[in-house]
Amino acid sequence: MEARSIEIKETVLASKKLNAAHCPEVTEKASKLIAMKGKKVETFDLKEGLSDAAIAAMLGPTGNLRAPTLKVGKTVLVGYNDSVFEAHFN
């Protein structure tokens, strides 16, 4: 994040496990979710609420929230994809 001069407002330690029950809190006030798993990128419209598919896309194989998870304006980014980060931070 420092390489892109991104200001981090809050950091949550990895020891604090966030699971499916935390997803509504993470996406609160967001209108879009972009979930990334390598080259796979899924976009969800959150204006109608958080779907089961969106929650599943936010979670890793252990059932915990994927890292990194960022809130950028009204968009939540979960996971990492270089081209998506390039589009949101340049």
Q: How far is CA 46 from CA 1, 39, 62, 89, in A?
A: 25, 22, 24, 21
Per residue of the chain (90 residues), what is the pLDDT tens digit? 666 667 777 888 777 889 999 999 999 999 999 999 989 999 999 998 999 999 999 999 999 999 899 998 899 999 999 899 888 877
pLDDT of res. 3:
64
| pTM, to two decimals | 0.88
The residue to which tokens 């981090």 are assigned? 8
